[in-house]
Amino acid sequence: MIALHVGRVKNQPEVFWRAPRVRCPTAAKDLGAKAAPSFFAVGCALAAVSKERVCRSPRHGRGKALAVSPAQVVAVSEKNKDDQRLSLYHRTGNVSPICQQQKEELARRAVEVAGGAPGTACTVDVHYSWACLERLQQARELGRSITVDSVLLPGDSSEEQVALAQRCAPVVFSADKSLMASDFANEGSRKNNCHFVAAFPVSQQLSVLKPPYVVLDGIGSSHNIGQILRTAYHFGIDSVILSQEAWQQLDARACRVAVGWAYHMDFHMAHSLPEALQALCAQGVTLYAAEDSASSEEVRPHAPRDSELWGLVLGHEVSPEVLARCDFRVRAPQRLSGTMNVAHAAAICLYELAGLGSQARADPTATENKKGLVAALL
């Protein structure tokens, strides 16, 4: 998979100082990617990729062709704001029977498109922000299957923004800012943001995910989950396993905090997290549990350095059953006593386990690369 950035600021691509793994060979070829250098930055190159072609790598072989005909744009006013198709966008209507029925139908359709079995876990939510919509479309053009039901735009959206929305969904709604603010603005979003109903993520089979892994056990904050996902992705990790409790927090807010990079990642909801970890152990995966305790060792790079067979288990309090499946208990080094935020501890542990910390200390030329990584995470 190649991570591309089509940002609002021109000529400012997100920068990777560790080459991301190319998971979509067809897309890499079309974008002119050669052997991955140690410093890899790709900017607004997606325009060169044909919108009718679908990347069918072994990992994303279930991708479907994108519709090329532009979606209709429906103007929303006081007269038609109660249109049932807008039910999910209303502040007060998201728990109504109509909304629940729409969610169930959209989830069923998304699971079917993704090739999942009936009953597969799928989250339907109203996502928001232009950055998220851009990265969602990038992920789809790289072959990922993400179902978007509709997009709701502020009335003063630019032609480019409207065109982006039309590529993402079969129907696009447009409402002026006052109506967006009074009836449709999500908590945490702004009235000048776009909103879109998406069925994401769809839980995948554990066998589809590739190491290294991030494992989330019972994290109850969507903000923390979003921060962890954003950091993990920039360290080259895109496989995430979640407990049922953590899955409930993998919502639109988490995707927004991750600035849309979550759409480029793979997720598995484990009905039994200990059993899922046992399956990883059987495949030779080394599991590290991040735990701030006296018995934990300071985190070090995973060995051997060229192996990706490892996973980091994170949680506000990792359950004893999960800890029993882990090979090591590690902690982030710190000078002061006290508990560190789980997202901050995750960033330090992932950085070290991936070998980036030791690489930076050993390589005197890594200073500029570190600056690039910091800029990418800001």
Residue 362's pLDDT is 53
Q: Is the pLDDT of residue 30 over 70?
A: no
Residue 76's pLDDT is 94
3-class state of residue 247 by DSSP: helix
User: Predicted confidence band at 356 (pLDDT cuts at 50, 70, 90)?
Assistant: confident
**Average confidence (pLDDT) over 166-192:** 82
Least-confidence region, from 129-133, 216-220, 277-281, 304-308: 304-308
Q: Is the pLDDT of residue 44 over 70?
A: no
For residue 92, the one-letter residue type is T
Residue 293's pLDDT is 76
Q: Is the pLDDT of residue 135 over 90?
A: yes
The span from the CA of 28 to the CA of 166, in Å, is 25
Q: Is the pLDDT of residue 223 over 50?
A: yes
Look at residues 86, 3, 80, 90 and name the one whose alpha carbon lies nearest to residue 40: 3
CB 71 within 8 A of CB 196: no
The span from the CA of 201 to the CA of 204, in Å, is 9
Domains by residue range for the chain, with CATH: 1-49 (no CATH), 72-202 (3.30.1330.30), 206-377 (3.40.1280.10)
User: Predicted confidence band at 296 (pLDDT cuts at 50, 70, 90)?
Assistant: confident
